[in-house]
């Protein structure tokens, strides 16, 4: 339940910020193009606070914090006094209307650049992509590479850490092959191999691109020793203490921490007989895992302990931090690479190269927002930038009801010299609206694993 509220709060903050910035882009450019803005609202629904400026614009804080909207004077929607006709949106030149509509998505790209600028200014700590081993029967295993090795680049994308490896691999989903650049164990010379992706298929909900290709990243050893206990948890109620070492469960000797986790998850609400080593003595205890739900809404056990984990070797840790100017350059580069990746992925969805099962909706976004927020400000800023780029690009799609649909109509008007008939626009809006509802339905079904 706590995760639900945390994810929801992070989702509201992220989505509210993104949509408000988007609408502020429309608002700011409309004002400078001479359009009368009647209302700029942060949020939807009943007004909590309203202030009317000297120019007559209402600034509203509404009760539902999921974005906002801009209401501009428009003679197509209401009766406008003759002396105010020149202030109506629909009476502006086509170039001004294009600027006003395009300002929303542009604001999202600017937000992404600013967010990444802050990320690079604050600095991040990450792990080098070291691969001590590869999975059997995987695309990578077919190359018989000598391990361990360090991943240097995927295609043309440099990969200083595992996050960059994951992002780079995502761009190759649906492709036939990719070029891997790496440094082997015997020398510091960069080598390249081509990985065949023709049989590369995986469920992104269950496994990452990294693991599905056969990479087995270096991970510090996890010991069967208790490092921390959550208050009021099943572990505390069973009498476990920090420093206890798990020896056996239901009479079976435990080999590693993952085996113990599997036992816990498989016994929700069921008593488990365990042996623990404490002060060189083996104690027999009973523990009953609390019941939780996983991402697929299945019941799993949970006892509330954290294991003792070795630290990463110092040579595997990298800290990245730049000055103000370099951070801005990096922010622009990162936003551009994400834009290209998102555009490529959307194209593959349209052509059917990538399954629609990869499409995610608000539930997945909320989980992502909660997870990134729990890791700290830098990770949450990176998540906001990622979603902001996606929001900006999706709004530029030439679908009526989206900004891209309006821009399409205005481009037709530029070429033909006259506006698209309102009847045609109305039909387009209905088709576009139905298509958006269909996409959202698919995304929601994917979120709940119903497809």
Which active-site residues does the annotation give? Answer: 23
Structural contact between residues 35 and 89, judged by C-beta atoms closer than 8 angstroms: yes
Distance (Å, whole) CA 262 – CA 415? 64
Distance (Å, whole) CA 339 – CA 345? 10
Distance (Å, whole) CA 153 – CA 172? 13
Distance (Å, whole) CA 185 – CA 132? 10
Structural contact between residues 395 and 432, judged by C-beta atoms closer than 8 angstroms: no
208 DSSP assignment: -
Distance (Å, whole) CA 307 – CA 292? 19
Helix-helix angle 162-170:324-351, to 10 degrees: 30
Q: Phi and psi (nearest 5°) for 400? A: -55, 150
Cross-strand partners of 276: 246, 283
Distance (Å, whole) CA 144 – CA 321? 36
Token pair for 10 = 């992070």
294 DSSP assignment: -
């Amino acid at each position: 339940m706590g995760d639900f509220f945390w994810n929801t709060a992070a989702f509201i903050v992220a989505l509210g910020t993104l949509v408000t910035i988007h609408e502020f882009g429309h608002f700011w450019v409309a004002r400078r193009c001479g359009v009368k803005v009647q209302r700029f609202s942060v949020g939807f629904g009943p007004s909590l606070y309203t202030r009317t400026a000297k120019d007559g614009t209402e600034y509203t804080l509404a009760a539902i914090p999921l974005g906002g909207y801009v209401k501009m004077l428009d003679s197509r929607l209401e009766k406008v006094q003759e002396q105010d006709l020149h202030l109506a949106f629909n009476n502006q030149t086509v170039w001004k209307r294009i600027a006003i509509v395009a300002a929303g998505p542009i604001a999202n790209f600017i937000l992404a650049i600013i967010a990444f600028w802050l990320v690079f200014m604050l600095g991040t700590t990450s792990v080098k992509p070291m691969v001590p081993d590869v999975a059997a029967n995987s695309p990578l295993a077919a190359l018989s590479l000598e391990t361990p090795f360090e991943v240097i680049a995927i295609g043309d994308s440099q990969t200083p850490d595992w996050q960059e490896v994951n992002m780079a691999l995502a761009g190759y989903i649906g492709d036939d092959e990719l070029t891997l650049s790496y440094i082997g164990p015997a020398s510091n010379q960069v080598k390249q191999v081509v990985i065949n992706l023709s049989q590369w298929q995986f469920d992104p909900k269950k496994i990452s691109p990294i693991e599905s290709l056969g990479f087995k990243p270096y991970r510090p050893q996890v010991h069967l020793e208790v490092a921390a206990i959550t208050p009021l948890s099943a572990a505390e109620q069973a009498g476990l203490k920090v420093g206890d070492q798990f020896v056996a469960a239901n009479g079976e000797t435990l080999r590693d921490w993952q085996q113990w986790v599997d036992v816990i998850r498989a016994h929700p609400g069921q008593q488990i007989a365990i042996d623990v080593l404490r002060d060189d003595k083996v104690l027999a205890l009973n523990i009953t895992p609390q019941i939780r739900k996983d991402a697929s809404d299945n019941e799993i056990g949970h006892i509330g302990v954290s294991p003792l984990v070795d630290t990463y070797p110092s040579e595997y840790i990298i800290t990245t931090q730049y000055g103000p100017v370099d951070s801005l350059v990096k922010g622009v580069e990162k936003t551009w690479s994400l834009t290209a990746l998102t555009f490529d992925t959307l194209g593959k969805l349209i052509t059917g190269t990538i399954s629609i099962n990869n499409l995610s909706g608000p539930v997945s976004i909320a989980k992502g927002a909660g997870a990134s927020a729990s890791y700290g400000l830098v990770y949450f800023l990176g998540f906001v930038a990622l979603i902001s780029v996606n929001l900006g690009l999706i709004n530029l799609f030439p679908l009526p009801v989206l900004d891209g649909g309006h821009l399409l109509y205005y481009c037709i008007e530029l070429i033909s010299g006259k506006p698209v008939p309102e009847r045609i626009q109305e039909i387009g809006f209905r088709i576009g609206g139905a298509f958006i509802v269909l996409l959202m339905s698919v995304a929601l079904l994917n979120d709940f694993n119903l497809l």
